[in-house]
Protein backbone atom coordinates (compact mmCIF):
# COMPACT_ATOMS: atom_id res chain seq x y z
CA UNK A 1 0.00 0.00 0.00
CA UNK A 2 1.38 3.37 -0.92
CA UNK A 3 2.05 6.04 1.67
CA UNK A 4 -0.64 8.32 0.24
CA UNK A 5 -3.26 5.59 0.54
CA UNK A 6 -2.25 4.96 4.16
CA UNK A 7 -2.57 8.66 4.98
CA UNK A 8 -6.01 8.80 3.38
CA UNK A 9 -7.08 5.67 5.25
CA UNK A 10 -5.93 7.01 8.63
CA UNK A 11 -7.59 10.37 7.94
CA UNK A 12 -10.85 8.57 7.12
CA UNK A 13 -10.62 6.63 10.41
CA UNK A 14 -10.01 9.86 12.31
CA UNK A 15 -13.00 11.54 10.68
CA UNK A 16 -15.16 8.49 11.44
CA UNK A 17 -14.17 8.56 15.11
CA UNK A 18 -14.86 12.31 15.26
CA UNK A 19 -18.30 11.87 13.70
CA UNK A 20 -19.12 9.05 16.13
CA UNK A 21 -18.10 11.25 19.07
CA UNK A 22 -20.19 14.17 17.80
CA UNK A 23 -23.19 11.92 17.21
CA UNK A 24 -22.93 10.51 20.74
CA UNK A 25 -22.55 14.02 22.17
CA UNK A 26 -25.62 15.21 20.27
CA UNK A 27 -27.67 12.25 21.56
CA UNK A 28 -26.65 12.86 25.18
CA UNK A 29 -27.44 16.58 24.93
CA UNK A 30 -30.87 15.79 23.50
CA UNK A 31 -31.58 13.28 26.30
CA UNK A 32 -30.50 15.76 28.98
CA UNK A 33 -32.67 18.54 27.56
CA UNK A 34 -35.64 16.17 27.42
CA UNK A 35 -34.98 15.01 30.99
CA UNK A 36 -35.18 18.58 32.26
CA UNK A 37 -38.37 19.17 30.29
CA UNK A 38 -39.97 15.97 31.60
CA UNK A 39 -38.98 16.56 35.22
CA UNK A 40 -39.74 20.26 35.46
CA UNK A 41 -41.90 19.56 38.51
CA UNK A 42 -38.81 18.34 40.41
CA UNK A 43 -36.58 21.30 39.59
CA UNK A 44 -38.82 24.25 38.69
CA UNK A 45 -37.37 26.48 36.00
CA UNK A 46 -34.23 24.34 35.69
CA UNK A 47 -34.73 24.00 31.94
CA UNK A 48 -34.73 27.78 31.55
CA UNK A 49 -31.36 27.99 33.32
CA UNK A 50 -29.71 25.58 30.90
CA UNK A 51 -27.66 27.11 28.11
CA UNK A 52 -28.93 26.91 24.56
CA UNK A 53 -28.68 23.63 22.68
CA UNK A 54 -25.90 24.98 20.47
CA UNK A 55 -23.90 26.16 23.47
CA UNK A 56 -24.35 22.83 25.26
CA UNK A 57 -22.99 21.03 22.20
CA UNK A 58 -20.30 23.35 20.99
CA UNK A 59 -18.86 25.47 23.78
CA UNK A 60 -15.59 24.01 25.08
CA UNK A 61 -16.46 24.70 28.72
CA UNK A 62 -19.34 22.20 28.43
CA UNK A 63 -17.50 19.41 26.60
CA UNK A 64 -16.89 17.42 29.78
CA UNK A 65 -20.50 17.61 31.00
CA UNK A 66 -22.07 14.34 29.86
CA UNK A 67 -24.40 13.32 32.67
CA UNK A 68 -27.66 14.62 34.09
CA UNK A 69 -26.02 15.03 37.48
CA UNK A 70 -23.32 17.29 36.02
CA UNK A 71 -25.94 19.45 34.32
CA UNK A 72 -28.03 19.60 37.47
CA UNK A 73 -24.99 20.89 39.36
CA UNK A 74 -24.52 23.50 36.62
CA UNK A 75 -28.17 24.56 36.90
CA UNK A 76 -28.02 24.78 40.69
CA UNK A 77 -24.88 26.93 40.50
CA UNK A 78 -26.44 29.30 37.97
39-69: pLDDT as tens digits: 877 777 888 889 999 999 989 999 889 898 9
Residue 6, in any domain of the structure: no
15 belongs to a structural domain = no
Q: Domain for residue 64, yes or no?
A: yes
In a domain, 56, yes or no: yes
Long-range Cβ contacts of 21-26 (<8 Å, 24+ apart): 25/57, 25/63, 25/66, 26/57
* pLDDT tens per residue, range 12-32: 999 999 999 999 999 999 999
Q: Domain of 40?
A: 21-77
What integer pLDDT is reported at residue 77 of this predicted model? Answer: 86
The verdict on residue 3 lying in a domain is no
DSSP state of 61: G
Please indicate, yes or no, whether the overall pTM of this predicted structure exceeds 0.75.
yes
* 54 within 8 A of 48, measured Cβ to Cβ: no
> Number of structural domains, the chain?
1
**Residue 43: how many CA atoms within 13 Å on its side-chain side?**
19
Give Cα separations from 12 to 5, 8, 15 (angstroms): 10, 6, 5
pLDDT at site 76 = 86
Indicate if the pLDDT at residue 6 is higher than 90: yes
Amino acid sequence: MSTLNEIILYAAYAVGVLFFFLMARNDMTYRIKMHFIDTDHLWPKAYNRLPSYDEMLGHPKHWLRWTKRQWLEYVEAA
